[in-house]
Structure 1
Amino acid sequence: MKYEEIFARSFSRHDQNRFRSGALLACFVILWCMCTVFKPYLGTLPVYPEVEKTTLICDTSKPRYDSCEMKGDVRIQGNSSTIFVFSSQLTNASMTIKPYARKGDESAMESVTTFTIKSVQDKPETMIKCNKTHNVPAIVFSVGGYAGNNFHAFTDVIIPLYAKSREFNREVKFLVTDNRLSWSRKFHELLKKLSRYEIIDIDHENEVNCFPGVVVGLGKEERKELHLESVKDFTSFLRSSYSLDRSTTENLTNGLTKKPRLLIVSRSKTRTFVNIKEVVHVAQDSGFEVIVTEMNANLTRVSQLVNSCDVMLGVHGAGLTNMVFLPENGVLIQIVPWGNMDWIANTYFGDPSKAMGLKYIEYKISQGESSLIDQYPLNHQVLVDPFSIQRKGWGVYKSIYLDKQNVTLNITRFKETLSRALEFLHS
C-alpha cells in the first residue's frame, strides 16, 4: 500500500483540516520572528531616489562664447560653482565654462566665474541631494567682465539674454553670477519682462538648487555688436518694457510746426565737447530744440528722454548705446575722435543703428578738432600714424585716443551735418 493512502487513512477529514490550519499559523509565527530579528539589518539597506538621465549639449567651437544646454535632472551647488548632471555625454566626466560672451578677451574673462559641470555616469546614488527643487528651467549668466559699462551690458548680456529667454515665455529663472546690486537695479524692468521670477544670486546660494533644465552661457554673433536677427523686435520690446510713447518719428513729416528735438550726450571726464555752448547755439539756429545731458543709470528716465527726441548726438562712447530707445527713423550722429576709429565706430554704433531702423550720420573730426594737438608735437606718431599706436596694444591705444582726447567741433563744418539730419527727418 502506498504511503499517501496510509497517511490519508490515519486522519479523519476534520483532523486533516486542523493540521493544515496549525501548519499555516506556525509559518506566520516563524515569518514574524524572522522579520523581528532581521529588521535592524534590513533597515540599513540603501534606498536611492530616482535620478533622471540628463541630455547635455555643449558648444565650445564659437570664438565669442561657450554654452551648454541641459535637460533632465540638473543640480547646482552655487557657492562652489558646480553643476551636477546624470549623463555619460562628457568624455572626461567634467568640463568648465565661463558664462560670458567675450571668450577671447582675457581682461574681460578674468572677472568671470568659472562653472564646473560634473557628470555622474553610472552611479546615480553619488548625485548631490536637492535642497530646493524648481519646476521651471534656469539660465546661468555672468554680469562680470565689462558688463558694468552700458554698451557691454547691452551687447554682452541683455541682448543675448533676450534672444535666449524668449523661447521660455517668461517661465525661466535667471541665475546671475558675479552679480552687482547696481547692475540688477539698473536692468530690473527688463529682467522682470523676461522672467516671472526674482533673479537668484547663485554665488551666494549655500543650498543645492535643482532644475528640470539649465542653460549656461549666452550666445553672441561673431564680429557683431548690439546685434541679433530680430533687432527691431528687441527695440520694440524695450519700448513696451518702459511704456515709451513713440515708435517712429513720422509725426515730423505731417507738416507740424513743432521743432525736432536734438539730444546732445555730454561727457564729464573724457571725449567732452570743449565748445559745447557754440554747438548748442548752432543747433538752435538750425531749427532744433536742444537738450544737453549726461546719461545715467536710471534707464526709466533715460529711455523716456531719448524716446522723446528725434536726433541723438554724441562722441563715440557707451552713452550712445541709449540709441536703442530712439524712435524708428530717428537720427544718430556719432562724433568719431581722431585715431583711425573707423572700424570700431561703425561696428559699435554705425551698423547697429541702421539695423534698428535709424538714420546714421558719422562726423569724423579733423586733427585740428582734437585736443591731442595740445598734448603732442604735430609730427608725433599719435597724430600722424595712429596705426603704429594700435600695434602697441589696446591698452596703449585706449589710454591715448579714448581716455585723453576731447573735441572742439568746427562749427561751420558741423552745421552741414545738422542740415543733413533735418533732411533725414523730413524726407
Structure 2
Amino acid sequence: MMRAEGKATRSANRSSPWKSSYVAYGLLLGSLLVLLYLMVSTQFSYSQKALLDPAAIDSAGTIPAKHRRSHPGQATVDDASRGMEEFSRDEEEEEKAKAHTEPSTPRRQEKQDESEQQWAGRNSIEEQLGNEMKSDNWEAKSQDKNEEAAESKEFGGGTDDYNNVANAKPICDTSFGKYDICELAGDARAQGGPGATVTLVSPRAPPKEWQIKPYSRKYLDGLKAVTVRSVPNPGDAPQCTTQLNIPAMVIELGGLTGNYWHDFTDVLVPLFIGARRFNGEVQLLVVNLLPFWVDRYKRIFGQISRHDIVDFENDDGAVRCYPHVVVGYGSRKEFTIDPSLDETGGDYTMLDFTRFLRHAYSLPRDRPIKLGDVRPPGGRRRRPRMIILERTNSRKILNLPEVVAAAEAAGFKVTVAGRPKASYDEFTREMNSFDVMVGVHGAGLTNCVYLPTGAVFLQIVPYGRLEEIARTDFGDPARDMGLRYIEYSVAAEESSLMGVFGKEHPMIKDPAAIHLSGWGNVAEWYLGKQDVRINVERFRPSLLRALEHLQ
C-alpha cells in the first residue's frame, strides 16, 4: 500500500511541470492574439477617422502614417507595415470618387479641378450649364453660352459637335407661305449672273440645295429664283474673286414694286426688318434691280447700307465672299412689324421704322401740335394742320369742298394734296408738318409713315364691308406707328354705287354675298368703281375726335 501510494505521488510530481508549461504557453498565445486584435482594431479606427475628420489630414493633403489603412487584403500588425508610404492606385481613385463628400485642401482641390475639367470635356453643354448653376456668375455665363449657341444654330446650322448636325436649324426656312429666308454664316460665296447662286462651305452642313425667290411674296408670278447651296468642301464651291468682311443680303425688287403701298409693305419695311441689325454695314445684292426706283428712295437705301448696291443678275464672273449672307426678306403682317414674329435681330417695331425714316430724311417733327400749349403773342390759339389726300381715279370725295369747310369750321387749317409735284424728299418734309391726315382708303395713305408720332390718322372706308381690309392695311399699322387712328365707314347712301345699282341690289343690300362671290367683284366695284359723297353732319364727330386727340 505504501509502495503504491508512493508510485502515484511520483507520477503526479513528474507531470506537474508539463501542465504548468502548457498553461504558460496558452496564456502567452492568448495575450498575443489579444494584442493582435487590439492593433488591428486601432489601425482600422484610425483610418476611418482619417476619412471623416479634417484634423486627421496633414497640411500636405495626405493622411499620416498612423492613420493610413492598407490595401484591401493586407493586414497591419505593427509599425513594420510602414512600407505602405502612399495610397495604392486603387485607393487614390476611390478617394477621387469621394471627393464631393470630403473637405478640400489645396492639393486635393487641384486634383478635383483637374477631374472636373476632364469631366466637362466629356459631357454635354446641358450638363456643364447645370454644374455652373452653383456659381454666382452662372446667369452671365449661361447667357453668353446661350447667345453663342443661338448664333451658331441661326447662321448656318449646328454646333461644333458634328454629331448634332441633324438637330441644327436648317440654312433655309421655307415653312412660311409668304416668303422664304436663308441665313448662311461662315464661308458664304455669292456668284452672280442669270443663274445666281449663294453657296455655304461648311463641314457641319450636309449637302443640300434650295431654289429661293428673294421677295416678300414668293407666290407671285414672274419672280426669279436664286440657288442656295450648302457643301462640305471648299473645292465644291466657286473660288472667291472678292473678299469682303461685311454681311450681304440678296433681295428682289420685282413683284408688286411700283405701287406706293407695296413699295413699303413688300420692300422697304421687310428690308428694314432684315438689314437694320447690321447698322449700315451690309451690301445689297439685288435681283431685278430697278435703278430709277432705288433712286427715288435713295435716302432710305443710304441708311440701310453704306456700300454700293450690286446688280446681282448682271454680276457675271464675280464670286463675292462674305462671312454672312441673308437670302430673302419679308414681314409676317402687312405694312407693319411684329417683333414676336419678325426676326429683326434687335426687337425693332414699326415705331422704330418711322423714327428711321425721319432720320433718313432729316424730318424736324417728332410730335404733333398740342392744343393749348402754344399761343402766339396776340393770344389766339394756333390751329392744327390737316392734310386731306385727294384721289383722282376711283374713290374720289365728290363733295370735297364741303368736307374742307366742315374741317375748317371744326378748327383745322386744311390743305388738300393730290399727287406730289415737288421732289420726293421735299414731299416727305411737307407731310411731316401736318398734325392730322385724312383720306379715303388707298395707297396714298401710305404717307402716314412721315407723320410725327402721336399725330391723327383718319381713314375713310368705302362702302362694301371693307373695314377688315382697311384695318389690316392701315389701321393696325397706324397704331403700331404710334398714331391716333380714327375710322369713318361710308354708308350706302354716301356711295356712288347706290345710284348705279339701287338699294335692293345685292351690291348694296348684301355686300357679304358679293365677297363670297369672289375677289373680282369686290376689287372691280367696291374699290375700282366707287366714289363717295360724305355726309358732313355724320362726319363731324370724327373731326371733333381728331381735335380731342390733340388736346
TM over 0.5: yes
Structure 1 residue 73 corresponds to structure 2 residue 187? yes
Q: What is the Cα deviation at residue 120 of structure 1? A: 3.3
Provide the residue aligned with 1:58 in structure 2: 172
> Among residues 138, 153, 163, which one is paired with 2:263 in the alignment?
153
Provide the residue aligned with 2:438 in structure 1: 313
Q: Please tell me whether the aligned partners of residues 338 and 401 of structure 1 are also in contact (alpha carbons under 8 angstroms).
A: yes
- Is the alpha carbon distance of 1:320 and 1:89 closer, same or farther for their aligned partners in structure 2, counting shifts above 3 Å? farther
Question: What are the within-5 Å matches in structure 2 for residues 209-358 of structure 1?
Answer: 209-212=319-322, 213-221=324-332, 223-229=333-339, 230-256=349-375, 257-296=381-420, 298-358=423-483
- Is the alpha carbon distance of 1:348 and 1:139 closer, same or farther for their aligned partners in structure 2, counting shifts above 3 Å? same
Separation of aligned partners in 2, 1:378 and 1:73: 66
Q: What is the Cα deviation at residue 224 of structure 1? A: 4.5
Separation of aligned partners in 2, 1:250 and 1:408: 30
Provide the residue aligned with 1:400 in structure 2: 525
Separation of aligned partners in 1, 2:242 and 2:520: 45
Q: Which amino acid aligns with 1:261?
A: R
- Is the alpha carbon distance of 1:406 and 1:182 closer, same or farther for their aligned partners in structure 2, counting shifts above 3 Å? farther
TM-score with structure 2 setting the length: 0.63
Provide the residue aligned with 2:47 in structure 1: none
Provide the residue aligned with 2:231 in structure 1: 120
Q: What is the Cα deviation at residue 89 of structure 1? A: 6.6
Q: Which digits, 9 at most, give the CA deviation of each residue in 1:97-143, with x for residues without a partner? A: 1112224xx3xx21321111133344x33422333333322111122
Q: What is the Cα deviation at residue 395 of structure 1? A: 3.4
Separation of aligned partners in 1, 2:500 and 2:356: 45
Separation of aligned partners in 1, 2:364 and 2:414: 20
Greater strand share, 1 or 2? Answer: 1
Structure 1 residue 136 corresponds to structure 2 residue 236? no
Q: Which digits, 9 at most, give the CA deviation of each residue in 1:303-332, with x for residues without a partner? A: 211110010000011111111111122100
Q: Which amino acid aligns with 2:301?
A: L
SS of residue paired to 2:200? strand
Structure 1 residue 86 corresponds to structure 2 residue 201? yes
Provide the residue aligned with 1:178 in structure 2: 288
SS of residue paired to 1:249? coil
SS of residue paired to 1:102? coil
Provide the residue aligned with 1:24 in structure 2: none
Separation of aligned partners in 2, 1:307 and 1:102: 30
Structure 1: gaps of 5 or more residues: 1-53
Provide the residue aligned with 1:22 in structure 2: none
Separation of aligned partners in 2, 1:126 and 1:90: 13
Provide the residue aligned with 1:49 in structure 2: none
Separation of aligned partners in 1, 2:521 and 2:325: 40
Q: Please tell me whether the aligned partners of residues 462 and 526 of structure 2 are also in contact (alpha carbons under 8 angstroms).
A: yes
Separation of aligned partners in 2, 1:111 and 1:300: 31
Provide the residue aligned with 1:167 in structure 2: 277
Q: Which digits, 9 at most, give the CA deviation of each residue in 1:340-369, with x for residues without a partner? A: 111111111111111222111100000111
Q: Please tell me whether the aligned partners of residues 154 and 226 of structure 1 are also in contact (alpha carbons under 8 angstroms).
A: no
Q: What is the Cα deviation at residue 251 of structure 1? A: 4.0
Q: Which amino acid aligns with 1:97?
A: I
Q: What is the Cα deviation at residue 156 of structure 1? A: 2.0
Q: Please tell me whether the aligned partners of residues 76 and 210 of structure 1 are also in contact (alpha carbons under 8 angstroms).
A: yes
Q: Please tell me whether the aligned partners of residues 134 and 209 of structure 1 are also in contact (alpha carbons under 8 angstroms).
A: no
Structure 2: gaps of 5 or more residues: 1-154, 158-170, 340-348, 376-380
Structure 1 residue 194 corresponds to structure 2 residue 304? yes
Q: Which amino acid aligns with 2:227?
A: T
SS of residue paired to 1:179? coil
Separation of aligned partners in 2, 1:87 and 1:388: 56
The alignment-based identity, stated in percent, is 40
Q: Which amino acid aligns with 1:376?
A: F
- Is the alpha carbon distance of 1:152 and 1:422 closer, same or farther for their aligned partners in structure 2, counting shifts above 3 Å? same
Q: Please tell me whether the aligned partners of residues 371 and 405 of structure 1 are also in contact (alpha carbons under 8 angstroms).
A: yes
Greater helix share, 1 or 2? Answer: 2
Q: What is the Cα deviation at residue 158 of structure 1? A: 1.2
Higher alpha-carbon Rg: 2
Separation of aligned partners in 1, 2:304 and 2:265: 16
Q: Please tell me whether the aligned partners of residues 439 and 458 of structure 2 are also in contact (alpha carbons under 8 angstroms).
A: yes
TM-score with structure 1 setting the length: 0.81
Q: What is the Cα deviation at residue 254 of structure 1? A: 0.2
Q: Please tell me whether the aligned partners of residues 183 and 325 of structure 2 are also in contact (alpha carbons under 8 angstroms).
A: yes
Q: Which digits, 9 at most, give the CA deviation of each residue in 1:249-302, with x for residues without a partner? A: 144340432211110111111111111111112222222111111244943122
Provide the residue aligned with 1:380 in structure 2: 505
Separation of aligned partners in 1, 2:232 and 2:238: 13
Separation of aligned partners in 1, 2:433 and 2:300: 20
Q: Which digits, 9 at most, give the CA deviation of each residue in 1:23-55, with x for residues without a partner? A: xxxxxxxxxxxxxxxxxxxxxxxxxxxxxxx93
